[in-house]
Structure 1
Amino acid sequence: MATGVRGLRLTTRDGEVTGVRVNIADGERVVPAGAIVLATGGFDYAPDLVRDFLRGPLSRGVGAPSNTGDGLRMAMRVGAQLGNMREAWWSPVLTTPGIRSDGGRRGLLISRERALPGSIMVNRYGRRFANEAANYNAFGGAFHHLDESKLDYPNIPAYLIFDHSTVERYGVFGNPPGGEVPDWVIRAATLDELADRLDLPADALRATVDRFNTHARAGMDPDFTRGVSAYDRFPGGRMGDPDSPHATLGPVTTAPFYGARVESSALGTKGGPRTDRDGRVLDVDGDPIRGLYAAGNVMASPSGMVYGGAGGTLVIAGVWGMYAGRAAVQDQGRRAG
């Protein structure tokens, strides 16, 4: 077994995958194998593939920097049929200082903070543009709204805005209620000052907050129906009444006010070689490529464009990894017999 090596291309004989060429410390060599299971992750760190395939901008990744599409390229070279290539596990991410141990930039998937009472999300024009409490995959997709007249994505970047009542009642970014707000978060005594520090139009931000506050006090959001679903109410509802829309809807009124820039990101991509239910990679005619299997984010995800729930990426990797491994053993046995 070897670790820390990079797969370069698959080797084949008579249409069957027979091994993989890898790059190791002293050069390249071919590792022969009766079956290859691709489990290399997605292509979120491959700028050319991101540009060519994804349905909208990906400002930054938060997955492993090794997700450079190696498995996808290997599968393409042997004629794999591709699917779901425009989709990713879209995520609104707030970049924080520092570098992770794997070399990636630090960041926070802000699922909780944007759903708490006293918080909203606005685009760079100071306007709300989505239900802030929606699941991260659905909310992340809202970044891809295109202004056709300007050929511009107005919701990138976006800004998380919240007030001190959110800090006092719920705590933010891993801190307890009433805890410190990290010093990388922008803060101001007034909304106008906050808008100036975030380079947002103050009049538009004030109008957005005023409209939101009026409806939030009444427990409603006619613009984006925030608070209607149980999912919306869960983050704040854990510390209050989960059946009340006020578990997520609360006015932004209490100084100081806080803001942070949020990018269009993804936990990983969802597109790659199509497989059958057992993880066998299919060619462009829909027939299995003998000896080749795939599992996880490298494959065309069965989830399509949607998010099924917590652990969605892991269950696809785990289930298809199990089935692919089983199919590889069974197929080898049939060929040997």
Structure 2
Amino acid sequence: MPLTNTAVDALGILTICLVFLLVLLGLFCIIHTLYFCSRVQRSGFVALGYFNGPWIVRIIFILFGIWWGFGEIVRLRLLRQKGRIFDSLGLKWQEDICKYYILSNLGFSEPCLFLTMSFLLQASLQWRGSGIFNHKWNLKTTCFVLLYCLPVFVLDLIFVLIGPKFDKGKNKLLQLPQIFTSTTRLSNSQPYIAICTYPLLCTILYGLFAVVLTSYLLFLGRRMVSSVINNRLQSRVYILIVTASSCLPSRVILLGFSAMARAQFLFEALVFFGFLVLLLCVVVGIFVLVYLPAADSLTLHRGLQGNEARRSRVDRHRSSFSSVRPSTICFPASTGNADT
């Protein structure tokens, strides 16, 4: 048992380190995006405003990823051991924390992540005159993300708050097994620690959401690949679509199996691998949807600035050339006579 506890704690420490790296990556990309915005506004290149248009939604996508990462830290059993952050909390508070985690991650941040990813992909297919570089588009997209996430959140809220009452009902036909509604279970070695679990009802709902959204992502990816003529951009689209369409179902499957895992280490290992596949999807999404567009636009910005500098030098040279008197230009005086 001590060896199992050590292995579980090692997975918890690794989770905290990976989330910390995700936060650093997100903050770097936010600073990089804001820097690109300031460069575009100072330089006055209106054409680059199209590429800079969804910058608010890109930052919101990163914030959803950071929110999800902190939720994964909250669920860790490591923090509820003696001498840790939540050591003075009773079982009731620990159960409430696990309910908050399910609602925060499975009901809100994860659906919002993939919805935002879908809107950013859809935005790249819109033409420049559709208003994508308008701030109203960013506000409208954010509202749509929250609106489409609302049904998942409300159903998860019902499953988490009302679902456990079916376990204690007198009607056996309406009773559900505990794995369908329970958000916690006691640790085998430390009965004062409540381990956060994933109710099967919430996981099934998450799986239905994953099927619909994966189908839509594949549809968007097909349209983007057919419309993009640059091989490098096509490879980025392939990487993002394949990662999202494989990581999201994989996470659902791993969380579903974790609800049936009795051994503590097997449960923690399945949850950790579910965390890893979604972390990979979030990192790829941040690189492809946030960092690389800003980096490519900055490269284009430097090229435009270089062209402007060369054009201004040529114009100055031409103006200085036209200001010279014709008598000072040294042409052979006999050229015209020789031709005649």
TM beyond 0.5: no
Give TM-score, length-normalised by structure 1: 0.30
Larger Rg: 2
Greater fraction helix: 2
Give TM-score, length-normalised by structure 2: 0.30
Greater fraction strand: 1
